[in-house]
Amino acid sequence: MSATKVNGTPPGSAGSARSRKSAWEDNNTPVPQPISDAARTQLEVENKTKPDPQNLNSSRPASAASVLSSRSRKSAWEKEEHTHRESIRKTKNGRSHNGDVRLKSVELEEKQRDADAESVLITDGSCMDSLKDFTKVFRSKKFKSEKLERLYQRYFFSLNKSSLTYLIGLLALVCIVMITYYYAAGNTSWVKGVVLGLVFVYLIILEVFCNRSSFTQKQLSIVCYTVLGVVFIVVLVSVLSAVPASASAAVWCTVFFIYMIYTLLPVRMRLAVLGGCSCALLHIVCAAANNHSDWFLWRQILANIFIFTCANIAGVFTHYPTEVAQRQAFLETRKCIEARLNSQRENQQQERLLLSVLPRHVAMEMKADIASKQEDMMFHKIYIQRHENVSILFADIEGFTMLSSQCTAQELVKILNELFARFDKLAQENHCLRIKILGDCYYCVSGLPEPRPDHAHCCVEMGLDMIDAITTVREVTRVNVNMRVGIHSGRVHCGVLGLRKWQFDVWSNDVSLANHMEAGGMPGRVHVTKDSMECLNGDYEVELGLGIERNSYLRDHNIETYLIVASHPRPKLQQQLMNEQINHGTLPTTASKGRSSSVTQLETWSAEKPFANFMANSGKEIRQMGYVDSDLRPGEANIHNKLGLMSQEKQDPDDEVNEFLGRAIDARSIDRLRSEHVKRFTLTFRKKDLEDKYSRVRDHMINSYLVCALAMLILICFTQLSIFPPTYLMLVLFLVSCCVVLLCLTLSCAEKCSCMPRRCQKFSTAVAENRWRGSLVAAVSLISMAVVAICTIFAYDNTDITKCLADMYNVSVDDVTIELLNNASIQYGDPYHTHCRTDKPACHFPEYFTFCVLLTMLACAVFQQMSCVVKLGIMMSIGVVYLIVVEVPYVTVLDNRDFLIQAHQGMEDQLFVALKVLTPCVILLYIIALWLHGTQVESTSRLDFLWRLQAKEEKEEMEDLQAYNKRLLYNILPSFVANYFLSHDTKDSELYHQDCECVSVMFASITNFSEFYTELEGNHEGVECLRLLNEIIADFDEIIGEEQFKTIEKIKTIGYTYMAASGLTDETNDKVHKTHVCALADFAFRIKEQLNYVNEHSFNNFRMRVGLNVGPVVAGVIGARKPQYDIWGNTVNVASRMDSTGVADKIQITQEMHNVLMNHGYSFECRGVIKVKGKGEMVTYFLTGQPKDRQ
């Protein structure tokens, strides 16, 4: 049977999560309960940071299969009481002792390189932080990257276009209302009608223009500026042509325009602030100029200033969260796309990594099993396939020991990599599948995985090419090296055994024969069996090989062998290699000899670095070295190029993501998403779980909203104080309402203020983390504002002036004229006139109550996280209550105002719409406009939530895939080697190599397994024998995963020999107490016990022979297409000899090993002097017992 290096850790290793019943227990034995994996931390939108993947220290990787498995397995040989072995061990930094990468939460935050839009997301801090967050509101946001900013504008283009069309429609509606009211009252002036009419026509043209399919972002920006101009014209005309002329004329529409500029006009904050302030200033200037003769003008102007300031604040606090949410949603969507592309790359890297070690058919089967989480099985699944009619080639480098003795560790690894990289290329050219490298032995198979009728020809050509290649090496390096090649044709079982260090291997008696064909071969010749010669069909000249004279196995089995005669010269490869030397300018001269020369000459082959094709940024380097992924099917290259997976050198990753996002934006349909996920009227999610998640999303702007509400309340108070006579009721309502809103704000900010009581902090957290609680707090604040806006009217006199004058002058109400009003000395704007009022002051400007109510509605619209249905309910309640008050008990106040201003203007007829008619229309217009805006904001917010949720899932998937890829890497290489490649730039990093001192090496062989292995029909031609070997190796792999053996690294399995070493890193090498040496000795005892347990339950009599040695070794990674970690040196050779010259059921150790272990209380038996091949006579010992404290 052949050698097998088993790279990896499939399901069932220490730390694995799959449980199964022993294959040898009674069927009535209860199956152990599954033990679930340590719960993986769920990704939150704002949570913790990712763990450092480099901080592994001496930890070992868990099984790759255990990444997705959720069951813990029991050994096939263990009874139930053995199932309680600890399988998951925790350490610092979120890792288990065996290197598991625990998935931690990832913040979805804005990248500094991408954006300077600072978020107002609340973070832990002092109360001063809230003030700093408040100042951020007035900043204009823009990404530093112009490309990103254009992409953002493109991302929200459809939404901005929709907002703009809404605004244009509302402006057109306002124009119609103003024209209707103006001429319905009997006015005949054509100026206002013509101007507003032209504006209306222009707005209709703009509406049609904006709804064209060819409408662009640049055109949208131009239209925004023209709309601002239209707004200024409407305000100008409305104030200057107001009938009756008053400073309060057109205030309601100016407030409406200001707020709509912030909310529906898609412009940046600075332009919105400039537009809102300019609109307010235009109204104030025109009103002051048009009403300069009014003695009370200053009171109205001052009140207007407060009102417009309030409207601008409401607009700012609406515009800012909307833009922040949109930009954040854009960034998170971009991250979602980036995660998708990264997942694509990671998946490609994962497959490339697997395919660098395993053939496609085996790798795909293993991946499918891992992903499907198969049910508990009695045995580990064995990945073995049988193939008939294949040829097996074994090749050994004769004279390599002499070459390696002249090299340092770095040079030895380079030489090995260059040689075997060349052989790998030859194998690909000759349609051979390299199986494994064993020291200086290389073996491959032709006819796998797809059968080939010329498999024997391929192997012979491969052998001849290898001999030619080594001939060139000999000429270049001046070192006498040669190849000894053996070939046999037959059948094989191929696949993967064990749980750690997965590597593809082949087994069969024919494989064993091919191995002995190499051992009995001759340097520089291809040695073939009779079976292989028959497959060649006489295409090659052969001569008798006489292998029975050089190998006892061939002699015992009477194998007839032949040597291939290269009847024709093969200059092709030699000339190619010599050309490479000339092109690199390194053609050997008489002076270019020695150790450094040999390495230099071999480096000109430009062999690939191991794992260059796994690194994330390796695409360019791979192609520069001429590597093309042969596993890509036709047409895949184009797809990968589109995704940026094969063209990193041509396109920056950020540009690639932006390009992909651009295509996603074009395909994105907001209307489709809205119809699929959101109900039409209530805008709640159709899926209850989504609605629950959305309601629990933290409202980071709640504090800012409450600050805005408090500021607006104070400005409403100032407005009423400046325009109305102060009263005690007004003072009480102001104080109470301000206290209520301030209390709400304080409780909401309590979470950030360490000085606040703990209950208040909990209440603050509960409000921020639940939308309904936040809506309740907002409703309390809005009700307080509405009370101030409405209830202060009760402090003023509501006596009907016309009725009072009729009684005073003894005339009917219809006969009351302006002259009677002037005779009574009742002057417009004087609240304390002596006639026609009670003890309460009169109210001559009731329209300002309406303005205050409108501001309260704007405050309601500011709370954007509040449901639009709740907003509609609150606004309608406020509007209905106010209209009931002013249309029933206080309707006389509105009539008095109309009569007084008519008298003040000297108008014989009332050429304007009564205030009691205009007020309900304005209230209704505001409710409709704010509700439409609220629905748009909420639907956008909910769709942004869907995008964020998708980004979170994509990031979680990417995290899983990255962790899975690392585990795959750790199952092929030791974690410390994998980290070396992950932490170094592939352009500059050297091959991994390390001189290790005081390393303990173990070879453990099942001596009689070859006798057990038979190929019969009853055992599926040997598959059942391999299944048993797989269980034994898997049990050894589980033991090596235990905490006490964390310093031990499995190197590989060679047929039925298990190779391991301890102390390969500074972290695991105890240079003082040599505890890592003791750990390997203890491991030898443990696997002997485990094999006895297997014998007991499988009714076999397997015997184990163990050899141990300690000393210096050279460790490194060789092979680019099939990277392999290995150790070399005299220590390894002697440890192997301790195994091969040992005795069954004994642990044979060297004198050096004895000197270390004797200080730790181990017991020994001196075997004496034995002859060791290549070493002469050596004194060895049998290790017979452990100290009591280590048993």
Count Cβ neighbours within 10 Å for each residue of 30-52 and write b for 16 or more, e otherwise.
eebeebebeeeeebebeeeeeee
Exactly one of 100, 114, 424, 440 is catalytic; name it.
440
Q: Rounded to an integer, what distance in angstroms lies between the CA atom of residue 174 and that of residue 166?
A: 12
The verdict on whether 370 is a catalytic residue reads no
Q: Rounded to an integer, what distance in angstroms lies between the CA atom of residue 954 and that of residue 948?
A: 10
What is each CA distance from 348 to 652, 682, 819, in whole angstroms?
19, 44, 93
Q: Are 1117 and 609 in contact (CB under 8 A)?
A: no
Q: Are 1061 and 1001 in contact (CB under 8 A)?
A: yes
What is each CA distance from 552 to 287, 549, 656, in whole angstroms?
116, 8, 63
Classify burial at 218, counting beta carbons within 10 Å of its beta carbon; exposed 0-12, middle 13-18, buried 19 or more: exposed
The verdict on whether 397 is a catalytic residue reads yes
What is each CA distance from 1113 to 78, 1003, 1126, in whole angstroms?
36, 15, 10
Report the DSSP pairing between strands 525-529 and 482-496: parallel
* DSSP code, position 95: B
Q: Rounded to an integer, what distance in angstroms lies between the CA atom of residue 874 and that of residue 1108?
A: 83
The tokens of 1144 are what? 């069954």
The verdict on whether 440 is a catalytic residue reads yes
Exactly one of 396, 510, 629, 1037 is catalytic; name it.
396
Q: Which distant-in-sequence residues (6+ apart) come within 8 Å of 766 by Cβ?
A: 773
Q: Rounded to an integer, what distance in angstroms lies between the CA atom of residue 953 and that of residue 283?
A: 51
Exactly one of 337, 382, 397, 1087 is catalytic; name it.
397
Q: Rounded to an integer, what distance in angstroms lies between the CA atom of residue 84 and that of residue 81?
A: 6
Measuring CA to CA, which residue among 1174, 1163, 1117, 1113 is closest to residue 1140? 1174
Measuring CA to CA, which residue among 1188, 1042, 1039, 1183 is closest to residue 1106? 1183
Q: Which distant-in-sequence residues (6+ apart) come within 8 Å of 907 by Cβ?
A: 244
635: left (phi over 0), alpha (psi -120 to 50) or beta: left
992 C-beta neighbours (distance < 10 Å), count: 25
Q: Rounded to an integer, what distance in angstroms lies between the CA atom of residue 736 and that of residue 722?
A: 19
* Total H helices, total E strands in the chain: 38, 16
Measuring CA to CA, which residue among 1114, 1098, 938, 1104 is closest to residue 1031? 1098
Task: Please give the biggest Cα pair distance in the chain.
Answer: 148
The tokens of 196 are what? 């507003």
Give catalytic residue positions.
396-397, 440
